[in-house]
Structure formats: C-alpha cells, structure tokens
Amino acid sequence: MPLITYRDALNQALREEMHKDDRVFLMGEEVGVYNGAYKVSKGLLEEFGEMRVVDTPITELGFAGVGVGAAMVGLRPIVEFMTWNFALLALDQVVNAAAKMLYMSGGQFNMPIVFRGPNGAALQLSAQHSQSWESWLAHIPGLKVVAPGTPYDAKGLLKSAIRDDNPVIVLEGEMLYNIKGEVPDEEYLIPLGKAELKREGDHCSIITSGKMVLVAMQAADQLAKEGIKIDVVDLRTIRPMDVDAITTSVKKTNRAVVLEEGWEICGIGAQIVDYIQRDCFDHLDAPVIRVHQADTPMPYAKALERAAKPDLPKTIAAVKKVMYIEA
C-alpha cells in the first residue's frame, strides 16, 4: 500500500470527488493560484479550472455565505478555512444558516456543504491561532463533525463528508499534514459516525480523536513495554459520536482516560465522560481522568506552550493514575 501524507490523502479525496461529481467545487483563501496555504489543493486549479477552484477575498463570513447559497441551489461546495481560528468570523453562516437550513425550511433545502481546515495548535502560533473548536462545533444540532487522525481516515472521511447531504465540519491539523500513512490506491469510504478501535488492549481505554490519536498510539506503545495494554478508541467522528464503541471498550477495560486537544471546561471529553458514567457506571474500577489543554489562552513561549498542551507524558501519567500504578 502506498505511503502518502495526510495532505496528499486530502488532495486525493478532493480530486476524486471533483472528478466524480461536477457539482463539487472548492473555495477559500488562496486555494487556487497558491495551491492552498498548506498545499492541500495542490494542482486542483490546473485540473478543474477557476470555476471549480475559487480564490476568495479575505472574507470568511462572505464566502461561507456564498457556499451556503450554492448548496441551497444544488451545488456541493467545499469551503476551506485557512484555519478554524479564522472561521470564527463565519460562524453565523455555519451555525445559523448551514446547520439549520434543512430544519427551518421544513425539509425543502438540503445543505450538502463541507467546511474544512486545520484545527487546534501547531507550534508557537500563540493564543489567537492555536485553538481547538471541536466542542463549539459539535455543540450544534444540524452539524456533523469529523476529526481524522491518520491519512487513511482523512481521505475516507473527507470523501464521505463531500457526499453527505448535511453540513459536515472537517477538522484537520497543521501538524498532521506532513504525517505519512498507508492509503490504498483503490477507492474507499469511511462512514461518518463510526469510531475505530486503533489498538486493542484490556487494561485501560484511551478515547480520543484527531491530532491526539497519534499521542494515544505513542502512549499505547510505551505502556506496552511495561506490560500495560491499551484500547485506543479513535472516535474519527465527533458528532454523531459512536457511543457504542466507547462503552464497549470501557466495559472491557473498566478504566478510561479521555484525551482531547481542547480545553477542559465543556470540552468533548466532558461529553464522553458523561456517556461513560451513564452506560458504564457498574463497570468502572476508577474515576475517569481527562487529559486536555490547560485552562488558559495558549502561551507563546515554547516551554509554556509545551506545559499547556496535552502530550505523551501527561497521557501516560493519566493512564497510570486510573490503573492505580504509583509513578
């Protein structure tokens, strides 16, 4: 199986879907001539022309609204945000228009639109450009939210997102674009709403998604050396969440660490812990522990940024804590 980057996996997904359906088009800041701020749309302008790969002004609310209108009249737009930090400006269109159109039109208008872009922190981009918005977006009824953590999942989930008749948020990662993974040549789709057990073990579950999947896998590798076997549940889709996958794992291991990139308060992890306590109460042998970003704006200073981010040592410490292993 070819080893390709996350960036190229997304590029393949876009290209394949644009070939397959001429209603699909891409727009956003610098997606065309510049090949995308992170080169995800490389070569697409050449291949599909400027009617289908549209460079927009720096007007997030405006082009998100154009996308919503296009979807209402039958096109299948893919709106790229240079980062989700900039998408805050477009949230009225995402939340009030895209997410509610089918509902408020009494079922007259589907909303086959994808909003995608990198989410969360990269390195030293400071407080305003290092934020994880998954809990904000997943909070909204009417939106679907996916957060692929591997090239394989990125391609399969983006293709499903483009084909879905509802607005789908795709949360990518600047630090993910360069990672490599096996992606088959033949076409495949990954269904929305299905988690994947990325690693099997019966001592403790780590439930995570997106960029943190890599951290969870590294933690599982390290802990395996100490004889601790981890179930790594990669949600892949944050909304609708695959609750069965979570509870099946926790009922097996009796312990869980919930690992997320964002902040603690009202984070995705809080929702996951709620599902666990509701469905797995009699199966828990320890309180569930969450690993997350520190409750502060992301610091710029390198050492402080490292201290604030959820990472491998914090994840390992959390696993040991729920397993009653003293460090």
Partner 1 sequence: MATKVFMEALSPTMEEGRLVKWLKNEGDAVKSGDVLAEVETDKAVMELAARGAGVLRKRLVNEGEAVPVGTLVGVIASAGEDISALVGAPKTGDGRSKTEDAGSKMEDGRSKAPAAPAPAPAAPPSSISPSSIAVPPSSRSLSSPLAKRLASESGLDLASVAGSGPGGRIIKRDIEAALATGSAGGDRPSSSIFHPTSSIDFEDLPLSLIRKTIARRLAESIGPIPTFYLTAEFDLERASEMRAAMAAMGDDYKVSFNDIILKATATALAQHPEVNAHWLGDHIRLHHRVHLGMAVATDDGLIVPVIFDADKKRMSEIAIESKMLAKKARERKLTPAEYTGSTFSVSNLGMMQIEQFTAIINPPECGILAIGAIEDKPVVAADGSTQIRKRLRVTMSCDHRAIDGAVGARFLQTLRRMIENPLMLVY
* CB of 3 vs partner 1, minimal distance in Å: 32
Q: Of the listed 16, 30, 129, 283, which one is catalytic?
A: 129
Which listed residue (74, 296, 300, 302) binds partner 1 by CB under 8 A?
296
Of the candidate spans 113-121, 173-181, 213-221, 308-316, the one that interacts with partner 1 by CB under 8 A turns out to be 308-316
Q: Using CB under 8 A as the criterion, what x/- string covers residues 230-269 for binding partner 1?
A: ------------------------x---------x-----
Q: Which is nearer to partner 1, 186 or 282 (CB)?
A: 282
Q: Which residue has the tokens 């996916």?
A: 146
* CB of 126 vs partner 1, minimal distance in Å: 16
**Could you confirm whether 16 is annotated as catalytic?**
no
- Per CB under 8 A, does 327 bind partner 1? yes
Of the candidate spans 1-9, 53-61, 83-91, 318-326, the one that interacts with partner 1 by CB under 8 A turns out to be 318-326
- Per CB under 8 A, does 88 bind partner 1? no
Which residues form the interface with partner 1 (CB under 8 A)?
A: 254, 264, 281-296, 307-311, 314, 317-318, 321, 324, 326-327
